[in-house]
């Protein structure tokens, strides 16, 4: 079973049209730009979630 973060990475890869490539070559087969884009969007969504108060307590930052 995938963690919440892993599911988010796959979801973003799908949104970017990279899911088929990811399934064929794995994470190591993605270009630096592709994996950086996924990582950037994961970070942005996690930050947004923290701001909305929907993140798990270990992801929340103190005020």
pLDDT in tens, 18-50: 999 999 999 999 999 999 999 999 999 989 888
CA-CA distance, 9 to 15, in Å (whole number)?
Answer: 10
pLDDT in the model for residue 54: 64
Residue 62 falls within a domain, yes or no? no
Task: Give the CA count within 13 Å in the CB-facing half-sphere of 32.
Answer: 0
The sign of the CA dihedral 41, 47, 51, 52 is positive
Residue 60 falls within a domain, yes or no? no
Model confidence at 53, pLDDT cuts 50, 70, 90, reads confident
pLDDT in the model for residue 52: 78
User: Token pair of 36, please?
Assistant: 């950086």
Which residues form the domain of 34? 4-50
pLDDT in the model for residue 50: 84
Residue 55 falls within a domain, yes or no? no
pLDDT in the model for residue 21: 97
pLDDT in the model for residue 55: 57
Residue 43 falls within a domain, yes or no? yes
Residue 56 falls within a domain, yes or no? no
User: Taking a C-beta distance cutoff of 8 angstroms, is the pair 9, 46 a contact?
Assistant: no
Task: Give the CA count within 13 Å in the CB-facing half-sphere of 56.
Answer: 4
Structural domain total, the chain:
1
């Amino acid at each position: 079973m995938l963690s919440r973060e892993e599911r988010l990475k796959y979801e973003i890869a799908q949104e970017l049209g990279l899911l088929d490539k990811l399934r064929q070559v794995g994470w190591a087969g993605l270009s630096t730009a592709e994996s950086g884009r996924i990582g950037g969007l994961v970070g942005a969504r996690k930050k947004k979630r923290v701001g909305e108060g929907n993140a798990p307590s270990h992801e929340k930052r103190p005020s």
